[in-house]
Amino acid sequence: MRRGVYQKVAAVVVFIIIVTMVVPYMVFSHTSRKKFNTIVQEQIVSGMLGTIDYLESHGRPLSDVGDLYMTGVVSMTAVDRLDGIELTGEQRTKLDSEERTVVFAQLDSFPRQFVAIARSGSSYVLCRFNLSDIFQQMRSAGFLSLLVSVLLGTGGMLFASHRMTRSLRELDAATRKVAAGDFSQRVPLRRTNGEFSTLIESFNTMTEELGSVEMLRSNFISDISHEFKTPLTAIEGYAKLLEDEEDDTERREYVQIITEETGRLSTLADNILMLNRIEKGNIPARKAPVRIDEQIRRALALCESKWEAKRLNLELELDEITLDVYDVLLMQLWTNLVDNAVKFSPPDGEIMISLHRTGERVTFAITDQGPGIPPGQQDHIFEKFYKADRSRGGDGNGLGLSIVRRVAQLHGGEVRVQSAPGEGSTFLVLL
């Protein structure tokens, strides 16, 4: 901003003050001068005619008019001829044809000297009056008051403008720091912010969200690096062992481990790509009618080798339900939940799976007899790369439940968890 906004606001404010004060002053000065002239002329006419009447009624000569009416501003004299005074034809005709009438003529344009002329018989009474001093005093007083008003108004408005643009300057400085990557910037809210309060609140909210996004991004990079590094380190280690190992049994074991770690990497990459597509709404397929109970059975079949290896007993209560869904995505949801239940179930344990329709909602529930999830961790298990217990289930990558929630939300549903340490876990999917 580099003081640009403040200078512009100050210039506009000063211009407005000058215009709103000077223009009314000039208009008022002009109209008041005209009104003042009118009042003065009325007083002079009254004074001249009254003086002439007084002299005539008391039998005094017209030449005594100067002794009766003379001030520092106005003076009267009696003359027989109007030499040196330029009158219009209309004014001269009016004086010659009417007594007790007064006409006005200006002697000079500056200073303001005027003469009022009245005829009495064959003589004339001249009343000279000079308003230049009065007008000069009025002009000086008006100009002084205008100057004081402009200075006070300008000073006050400049101070107010400085206060008003203070938040903008702070906002500008904070924005530059945010652009440089510092998301900790906050602009303080003040009572004087006025209309800028909403803007400042929005900016602070934005920087807070950006900070959260940056933290999530950093955590995501850290987590994904860790998830990729572990299998890659294992693959590298066992590949080196293969170079020196001559025993076929050991070599086959190493190859199997490398294959498993490669599969883990492939699964991790697939999950990341799927989660990215879901979050961006990049779903190439369209919804189609699908038998949900059949989908769940296919998911169980895909995990059959895992639950049979643990000798798990499966209890199924599946109603025949058909919904318009994204087939591949919803299949991934069931597979992830079944795989999760199998992974945390103890050998010879039991898994209960149910699917029912209640009104317009479909409820899926899968319950295992695993170690359970502490209450403080239940709100985090759907986050990317979060693992409730990193000491168990090392073959997971912390993306399965995140995909489950995203897929459920994509179908207008939700996922809930009910769990307690030592009592197993139940995951509910409401569609």
Written as tens digits, the pLDDT of the chain (431 aa) is 445 555 666 677 677 777 777 777 777 777 776 777 777 777 778 877 888 888 788 888 877 777 776 665 677 888 888 777 777 788 888 877 877 778 877 665 444 567 788 877 778 887 877 666 666 676 777 777 777 777 777 777 667 666 666 777 777 788 888 777 777 777 777 765 566 677 777 878 888 777 766 665 665 666 666 566 667 777 878 787 777 767 778 778 878 888 877 877 777 677 677 767 776 666 766 888 999 999 999 888 888 888 888 999 999 999 999 999 888 888 888 988 998 899 889 999 999 999 999 888 999 999 999 898 888 788 778 877 666 554 344 455 567 788 888 888 888 899 999 988 888 899 999 99
The token pair that represents 371 in the structure block: 């170690």
Q: Using omega within 30 degrees of 0 as the cis cutoff, is the peptide bond preceding 111 cis?
A: yes
Domain 286-430 matching CATH 3.30.565.10: the answer reads: yes
User: Strand locations in 24-171, DSSP E?
Assistant: 74-79, 102-108, 113-120, 123-130
Q: For the domain with range 192-282, which CATH number is right: 1.10.10.60, 3.30.1050.10, 1.10.10.10, 1.10.287.130?
A: 1.10.287.130
- Say how many C-beta atoms besides its own lie within 10 A of residue 48's C-beta: 23
Ramachandran region, residue 237 (left: φ > 0; alpha: ψ -120 to 50; beta: rest): alpha
Tokens of 260: 């498993």
What integer pLDDT is reported at residue 270 of this predicted model? 73
- The predicted pLDDT at position 352 comes to 94
C-beta separation of 161 from 5 below 8 A = no
Phi, psi of 351, deg, nearest 5: -125, 125
Alpha-carbon gap, residue 115 to 20, rounded angstroms? 37
CB 214 within 8 A of CB 193: no
Dihedral sign for Cα 89, 94, 96, 101, please.
Answer: negative
Q: Which two tokens stand for residue 242?
A: 């293969």
3-state percent helix, strand, coil for the chain, nearest multiple of 5: 60, 15, 25
Res 398: pLDDT: 67
Q: To the nearest 10°, the Cα dihedral for 338, 340, 342, 344? A: -160
Whether 353 and 317 have beta carbons less than 8 Å apart is answered as yes
Q: What is the pLDDT of residue 1?
A: 45
Task: List the Cα angle 109/84/92 in 5-degree steps.
Answer: 95
